[in-house]
């Protein structure tokens, strides 16, 4: 009888043939009255033990909460600690280190590129400021005509046309102004 009880409590998985046997077996008719009583007693005992274990576990969980409260540990602190620990674990991985290194290198290159673009733009604006064409064309928002010292003036289109001609002459090797000579528009 003890061998039968042990056979029911074995933890090894059932094989295909064993599963068929268990499925087709009619256990209550195979057991004697004495075996049925023993199994019922064991069932009651196991249920009692499970209830006791649940109570003990519940008491231990309450004690755990009390101790954590006394130590100043709360859910938020635990989450912070878990997050910090997890973040540290991530940072120590090879993949993270390689990614961090690559992104850092890319950031340095991007910074250098933006710096070069900024320098080029600044230089271009400086060149434009010193350019003869931009020095000739100055608009006064309160006047409808554009002109320098010439009071006869002219329309904006005329000034642009004459400036373009002067620029074309200048780039084609045309007349240049002498050093120190003031620009006439």
Instruction: Write down the pLDDT at residue 112.
Output: 86
Residue among 139, 176, 158, 179 at smallest CA distance from 148: 139
Instruction: Write down the pLDDT at residue 61.
Output: 94
In the chain, alpha helices (H): 2-9, 16-24, 27-30, 33-70, 75-91, 94-130, 132-136, 156-171
Instruction: Write down the pLDDT at residue 42.
Output: 96
Task: Give yes or no for a contact between 164 and 141, defined as CB atoms under 8 angstroms apart.
Answer: no
Instruction: Write down the pLDDT at residue 58.
Output: 96
Instruction: Write down the pLDDT at residue 1.
Output: 47
Instruction: Write down the pLDDT at residue 41.
Output: 96
Task: Give yes or no for a contact between 70 and 37, defined as CB atoms under 8 angstroms apart.
Answer: no
CA distances from 41 to 46, 52, 60 (A): 9, 16, 28
Instruction: Write down the pLDDT at residue 143.
Output: 47
Dihedral sign computed on CA atoms, order 66, 68, 69, 71? positive
Query: From its phi and psi, is residue 173 left (phi > 0), alpha (psi between -120 and 50) or beta?
Result: left
Burial class for 167, CB neighbours closer than 10 Å (0-12, 13-18, 19+) = middle
Instruction: Write down the pLDDT at residue 90.
Output: 87
Mean pLDDT in consecutive groups of 10 residues from the start of the chain, 185 residues: 50 60 65 92 96 96 90 81 88 88 89 85 76 56 47 64 68 52 53
């Amino acid at each position: 009888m003890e061998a039968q009880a042990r056979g029911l409590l074995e933890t090894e998985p059932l094989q295909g043939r064993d599963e068929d046997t268990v499925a087709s077996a009619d256990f209550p008719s195979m057991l004697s009255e004495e075996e049925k009583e023993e199994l019922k007693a064991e069932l009651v005992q196991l249920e009692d033990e499970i209830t006791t274990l649940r109570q003990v576990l519940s008491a231990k969980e309450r004690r755990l909460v009390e101790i954590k409260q006394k130590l100043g540990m709360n859910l938020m602190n635990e989450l912070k600690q878990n997050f910090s620990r997890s973040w540290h674990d991530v940072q120590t991985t090879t993949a993270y280190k390689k990614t961090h290194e690559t992104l850092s290198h890319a950031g340095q290159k991007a910074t250098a590129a933006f710096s070069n673009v900024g320098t080029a733009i600044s230089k271009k604006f400086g060149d434009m400021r010193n350019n003869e064409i931009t020095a000739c064309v100055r608009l006064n928002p309160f006047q409808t005509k554009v002109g320098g010292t010439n009071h006869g003036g002219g329309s904006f289109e005329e000034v642009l046309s004459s400036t373009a001609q002067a620029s074309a002459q200048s780039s084609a090797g045309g007349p240049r102004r002498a050093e120190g000579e003031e620009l006439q528009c």
